[in-house]
Structure 1
Amino acid sequence: MLTIKQVAERTGLTPYTLRYYEKIGVLKMQQRKDSGARVYTESDVKLIQCLCGLKKLGMSLEEITEFFRDGCVLEKIEQGEDISKLTPSLKRRTDILTKHLQELEKKREELDNIIFLTKEKLVMYDELSQNKQSFATRARIV
């Protein structure tokens, strides 16, 4: 069992963020020691790391909450749960990821356009800069 501080160190989240995610339902309520301190399992850490990955991809907390509503599907499969029982969850996750992938591809297209325009500007400024230097050189000769 891990403490909230240990989980924070391993996931890069702060203890405050972990408590907040639990409060709003992104994470399930954690087990507690008799003292009231939260305790986490390795499975919890894997789930939180996956959550962090989805967050870095730009997925909203609402989408992440929906994505993890049924817990860790892979863990359930490893525990022998019938895959047919997981079909609705898999469908929902597929829909969420498909929608998010479309949004990422749109953002990539926008970034590609910005990169292209930036490169064009750099070429133009470089040409202007070289022309200015050659103009200044010719002016000194005359």
Structure 2
Amino acid sequence: MFLYSISKAAAMSGISPYTLRYYEKIGLLPPPKRQNGGRRFYTETDIQFLTFLKSLKETGMSLEDVNEFVKDGCILEKINSGVKPSQLNPSINKRIEILTKHLEKMEIKKKELEKVMSAAKEKLEYYDSILKEEVENK
């Protein structure tokens, strides 16, 4: 098993070392493995989890919802270790609820963004028409 330093984990996941320490402090991340005088080290699985956390944050999910989403650990890991999916129903249902609400929020933001983009495109067309008109009048 290969271990990565906090700076390498940060570079690989796109999450700064400061944020990694903060996530650890608030309990979003489990304490990482430590070696050589307490230095943090991360596994490949940790990096995958960090990348997943970053993707949730990039979509605008709150830290509270991210924390709620991940607090029961990795469902796939549990299933692969022999836990019956039916035993995970409460956790799965909670994640479905969180993701459904989050998707609804993202749909609203998407519509707002589409309006802004449309207005920007109209402005560009208007400015282009002004420039074309100026060239034609020369």
Q: Which runs of 5+ in 1 are unaligned?
A: 138-142
1:116–1:14 distance in 2 versus 1, CA, 3 Å? closer
How far did residue 34 of structure 1 move? Answer: 6.8
Rg (Cα) greater in structure:
1
**Partners of 1:129 and 1:73 in 2: CA distance:** 57
Aligned to 1:108: 110
Partner residue of 2:45 out of 43, 46, 55 = 43
* C-alpha contact 2:33 2:40 (8 A) present in aligned 1: yes
Q: Secondary structure in 2 aligned to 1:95?
A: helix
Between the aligned residues of both structures, percent identity stands at: 46
Kindly indicate whether residue 135 of structure 2 is the aligned counterpart of residue 120 of structure 1.
Answer: no
The C-alpha deviation readout for 1:13-42, integer Å capped at 9, x for no partner, is: 222221110001111122333732223222
Q: Does 1:87 align with 2:89?
A: yes
Shift of 1:97: 1.0
Distance 1:34 1:119 in 2: 56
- 1:80 deviation in Å? 1.4
TM-score scaled to structure 1, two decimals? 0.83
Q: Aligned match of 2:7 in 1, 5, 22?
A: 5
What residue in structure 2 maps to residue 140 of structure 1?
Answer: none
**How many pairs align?**
136
Aligned-CA RMSD value = 1.9
| CA–CA distance in structure 2, aligned partners of residues 133 and 41 of structure 1 | 61
Structure 2 letter corresponding to 1:117: A
2:128, 2:44 → 1: CA distance? 54
Q: Which moved further from structure 2: 122-131 or 60-69?
A: 122-131
**What CA distance in whole angstroms lies between the structure 1 residues aligned with 2:19 and 2:88?**
29
